[in-house]
Amino acid sequence: MNIGGFDRLVRLFTGLGVVLFDYISSANWEIVFLIFGTWSVLTSVFGWCPFYKVFGVRTCPTVFKIDKELDQLT
């Protein structure tokens, strides 16, 4: 995870707002709003953004570490 709690909430509400706006918009811009809104909602739900990974940005304060002993068992 590389997206923090506040960032996830902002993405979720922005994405839902854009998808709602997509529902009432004209057909010319409909696909653009749908893609942007869906992207925002999905990154919020999963808590991971590939663009953050590419640019080395992390807003999530928690770092998950895998125990090496558990890793060796699999």
The pLDDT tens digits of the residues spanning 14-71 come to: 999 998 888 887 777 788 888 999 999 999 999 888 888 888 888 888 766 665 655 5
Residues 6+ apart with CB under 8 A from 15: 36, 37, 38, 39, 40, 41, 42, 44
Q: Residue 1 has what pLDDT? A: 79
What is the reported pLDDT for 60?
Answer: 82
Cα–Cα distance for residue pair 56/49, rounded to 1 Å = 11
**Rg (alpha carbons) of the chain, rounded to whole number:** 16
Domain holding 65, by residue range, is 5-73
The single-letter code of the amino acid at 47 is: G
Residue 41 is predicted with a pLDDT of: 93
The helix/strand/coil state of 66 is coil
Total tally of structural domains belonging to the chain: 1
Please give the pLDDT value at position 23.
84
